[in-house]
Amino acid sequence: MTDVVTPPTSPVSRERAKEIKRLSVISTARQVRVLSRAELTELTGLSPATLTPLVRELIAEGYLIERGPGTSRTGRPRAMLEFNPRAELVAAVSLEPSRLSCEIADSDGTVVAHRTVRLAGDIVDTVCRSVPELAGDGLPALRGVAIAAPGVSSGGAVRLAPSVGLVEGLPIGESVQQRLGVPVVVDNDVNLMAAGEHACGAGSDVADLLLLHVADGIGAGLVLDGQVRRGSGGAAGEVGFLPLDPTGRGHDGIGPFEARWSENAIAERMVALAPGRRPDAPVAALVELAGTDERAAAYLDEVLTAWSRLIVSCVCVVDPGRVLLSGAATQLDDAAVERLQDLVTTAVPSPTEVRRAVLGDRAVLHGAVSYALSAAAAGLPHLLPTP
C-alpha cells in the first residue's frame, strides 16, 4: 500500500489505454498458450482492427510467434500464434541465512539459469550484480524480481531477518528496483509458496486458500480473492502465535504453539520413540512407525489434532475453503490427511477441503514468477476474468 499520492496521471490516457490493451493480449496469450487472432478477439473483446497492428507489434517484440495455419473444418484456417514464454523472464531470489540463491525463470516457471552465492557484504549489491549476470543476454526480457525472505518481510517483527543480515526497515526492495529498473517484490517465503500454489499448483482452481507450512516454525500463507494478503504489518499467517496452548506465552521470536508442533519438535520426539539417528523426514517416519507402534500412533494423532486446531482457527477467521499442507506436513499419507480432514470438518462451520500442496520446492519459484508478472500489470484496473 504505497500508492498514496494521486499521481496526476489521467485515468484513461492514450498511453494507459494502449498499455491495457497490450497487457490484456499478453495475459490472455500467456494463459492460452497457442491461439489465433480470432480467439483473441473473443477473449479480450478487442476489435480485429485493433488487434491486427497490436499483434504485429507483439510478434516483432518476440512475445508471440506465428505458427502455421491451424486445422479448421471450414473457412479460412486460423493463423495460429504461440506465446513465447521466454519473452518474459523473472528473477527469483531466495535469502537464506548466509546464502542467497538466485534463479532466472521464464513465465512457465522453467528455470533458465540458477546460482547460489555466499552472502558477503551488502545484500542489495549482491542481488544487483547476480541477477544481470545470470540473465545474460536475456536481461532486456526481465520483467520483475521477487525476493523471498524468511520470516516477516516488512514491518512487524522481523524475527528471522537478522539471521540474513537484514536491517529492520531497510527498503531493500526499493533499492534493488531503482538499480535494476524493474518491479521488485519482497515477501515472506510462505506467502510466495501460497502464491505459487494458487498460480499453478493445488489452488489454481480456487480464489481463496490457506497454505500451512510446517518447517522449523509453522507459518501460513493466505490468498483471498485471488491475492496474497499480508495484513497491515505483513504478519498475517503468523499462526505459530495462536493462543491454543494454555501453557507457554510471550513472543521471544517463536510462538508458543509452533515450539511444540514444528518439524523440529516432531523430530526430537521421534528420536525418543525410535532411538537412532534423527530422521530427515520426521513426519514421514512418524507416519510409517505409527503403522506398527502404538505410542507412535497416539503421538501422530496428537500431532494431527494440534494441526487441525491450527487449521480450524484459520478457517473460522477467514474461511479459505481450501487448506494446503506444505513443508513437513506434505509427508502425511492419505490416511493421515483424511483424518485431518475429518477433524477439521467436524469443528468448522463452513465446508473446507484439506489437501497436500503439490509444488514442493518449486512453490516459491512459481510464486515469484506469479508475483513478478502481476507486479508488471499492477496499477491497472483488473480487467481480466480470473481463471
Rounded Cα gap, residues 316 and 312, in angstroms: 6
Q: Which of 143, 159, 339, 366 binds a second copy (CB under 8 A)?
A: 159
- 300 burial via Cβ count (<10 Å: 0-12, 13-18, 19+): buried
For position 379 contacting DNA by CB under 7 A, the verdict is: no
Interacting span for DNA (CB under 7 A) from 25-33, 77-85, 174-182, 234-242: 77-85
264 binds, among a second copy, DNA, none (CB under 5 to 8 A by kind): none
The H-assigned helical ranges of the chain are 14-32, 37-44, 48-61, 123-135, 172-180, 189-200, 256-261, 263-273, 282-290, 294-318, 334-347, 362-376
Query: Are 53 and 37 within 8 A, CB to CB?
Result: no
For position 320 contacting a second copy by CB under 8 A, the verdict is: yes
Cell digits of residue 116: 547460489
For position 276 contacting a second copy by CB under 8 A, the verdict is: no
Q: Which of 26, 29, 36, 44 binds a second copy (CB under 8 A)?
A: 44
How many other C-beta atoms lie within 10 A of the C-beta of residue 244? 16
Q: Which of 85, 196, 234, 367 binds a second copy (CB under 8 A)?
A: 234
Tell which residue, 38, 50, 149, 173, has the closest CA to residue 99.
149
Query: Given its phi and psi angles, is residue 353 left (phi above 0), alpha (psi -120 to 50 degrees) or beta?
Result: beta
For position 49 contacting a second copy by CB under 8 A, the verdict is: no
Interacting span for a second copy (CB under 8 A) from 101-109, 186-194, 218-226, 272-280: 218-226
Subset of 6-35 contacting a second copy (CB under 8 A): 6-13, 17, 20-21, 24
- From the DSSP assignment, how many helices (H) and strands (E) are in the chain? 12, 13
209 DSSP β-pair partners = 223
Q: Is 330 helix (H, G, I), strand (E, B) or coil?
A: helix
For position 62 contacting a second copy by CB under 8 A, the verdict is: no
14 binds, among a second copy, DNA, none (CB under 5 to 8 A by kind): DNA
User: What track of x and - describes contact with DNA for positions 56 through 75 (by CB under 7 A)?
Assistant: x------------x--xxxx
For position 21 contacting DNA by CB under 7 A, the verdict is: yes
Query: Are 105 and 112 within 8 A, CB to CB?
Result: yes
The DSSP code for 153 is: -
Nearer to a second copy, 271 or 380 (CB): 380
Nearer to a second copy, 170 or 242 (CB): 242
To a second copy, the closest distance from the beta carbon of 120 in angstroms equals 30
75 binds, among DNA, a second copy, none (CB under 5 to 8 A by kind): DNA
Subset of 235-254 contacting a second copy (CB under 8 A): 235-244, 249-251
Nearer to a second copy, 71 or 247 (CB): 247
Q: Which residues bind DNA (CB under 7 A)?
A: 10, 12-15, 17-18, 21, 36-38, 46-52, 55-56, 69, 72-79
